[in-house]
């Protein structure tokens, strides 16, 4: 897929105010400092597209970017949890939950994971929530350039093994580097193929 245009459309915290057209949406989400802005800018080949709404405080909003006039890249805040019951059941920001539950045109979420670290409970819990709520997602391993190939392979395989303890199969996953463009063609090609199947 070629990126012909990428424009910032809006930021808000109210799912009801998200764009009214029915264009397909792909949501990008991960823990803070996972490299989400860098990844989005690399995918779109714009130096500061994701910074358009990057003022402090704005990171707590749902950011819509219209790509090629026919699909939305949705930049969601990093997830954090708030305790809601004694059973230590956790939920993240209400509007993120609402976004995933109400936004019918959201076809796929990409959960970003820093490939340098072993599987983190907060990421695994978030993906568990996605699975329990029937939200389709793929995993994007970020910062691949920070590891040597063997270490990278080992870490990704460790993640797969951990997930297969509770999942029947590993979700689709991509390995990316914002500095070397690794994974860009595969990721955009995948989004293009999903778009092609719904039109």
Instruction: State pLDDT tens for residues 142-182.
Output: 999 999 999 999 999 999 999 999 999 999 999 999 999 99
Residue 106 has φ and ψ, to the nearest 5°, of -75, 105
Burial class of residue 160, CB neighbours in 10 A (0-12, 13-18, 19+): middle
110-143 pLDDT, tens per residue? 999 999 998 988 899 899 999 999 999 999 999 9
Query: How many CB atoms lie under 10 A from the CB of residue 48?
Result: 9
Which of the two residues, 85 and 65, has the higher pLDDT score?
A: 65
pLDDT at 59: 54
Query: How many CB atoms lie under 10 A from the CB of residue 151?
Result: 12
Which of the two residues, 69 and 92, has the higher pLDDT score?
A: 69
pLDDT at 88: 30
Task: Give me the chain's average pLDDT, please.
Answer: 87
What's 104's DSSP letter? T
pLDDT at 95: 78
pLDDT at 97: 86
Q: Which two tokens stand for residue 92?
A: 């993240």
Whether 18 shows a pLDDT value over 70: the answer reads yes
The pTM of this model reads 0.89
Whether 98 shows a pLDDT value over 60: the answer reads yes
Phi-psi region of 111 (alpha: psi -120 to 50; beta: other; left: phi over 0): beta
pLDDT at 78: 78
CA 64 to the chain's CA centroid: 13
Q: Which two tokens stand for residue 81?
A: 């949890």
Answer CATH for 6-198 from 3.40.50.2300, 3.40.50.300, 2.40.170.20, 3.90.180.10: 3.40.50.300
77-85, long-range: CB < 8 A, 24+ apart: 77/29, 78/29, 78/30, 78/31, 78/32, 78/33, 78/34, 78/36, 79/29, 79/30, 79/31, 79/122, 79/126, 80/32, 81/122, 81/125
pLDDT at 52: 41
pLDDT at 143: 96
What percentage of the chain carries pLDDT values higher than 90? 68
Q: How far apart are CA 134 and CA 172, in angstroms?
A: 15
Q: How far, CA to CA in Å, does 65 sit from each of 73, 159, 195?
A: 5, 30, 16
């Amino acid at each position: 897929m070629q990126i012909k245009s990428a424009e910032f459309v809006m930021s808000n915290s109210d799912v009801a105010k998200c764009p009214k057209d029915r264009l397909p949406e792909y949501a990008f989400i991960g823990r803070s400092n996972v490299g989400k802005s860098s990844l989005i800018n690399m995918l779109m080949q714009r130096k500061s597209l994701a910074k358009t709404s990057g003022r402090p405080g704005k990171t707590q909003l749902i950011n819509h970017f219209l790509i090629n006039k026919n699909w939305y890249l949705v930049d969601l805040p990093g997830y954090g949890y708030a305790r809601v019951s004694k059973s230590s059941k956790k939920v993240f920001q209400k509007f993120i939950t609402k976004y995933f539950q109400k936004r019918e045109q959201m076809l796929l979420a990409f959960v970003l994971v820093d490939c340098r670290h072993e599987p983190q409970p907060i990421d695994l819990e978030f993906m568990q929530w996605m699975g329990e709520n029937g939200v389709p997602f793929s995993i994007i391993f970020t910062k691949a350039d920070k590891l040597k190939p063997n270490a990278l392979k080992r870490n990704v395989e460790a993640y797969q093994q951990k997930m297969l303890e509770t999942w029947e199969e590993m979700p689709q996953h991509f390995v990316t580097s914002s500095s070397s463009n690794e994974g860009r063609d595969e990721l955009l090609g995948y989004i293009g193929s999903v778009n092609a199947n719904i039109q």
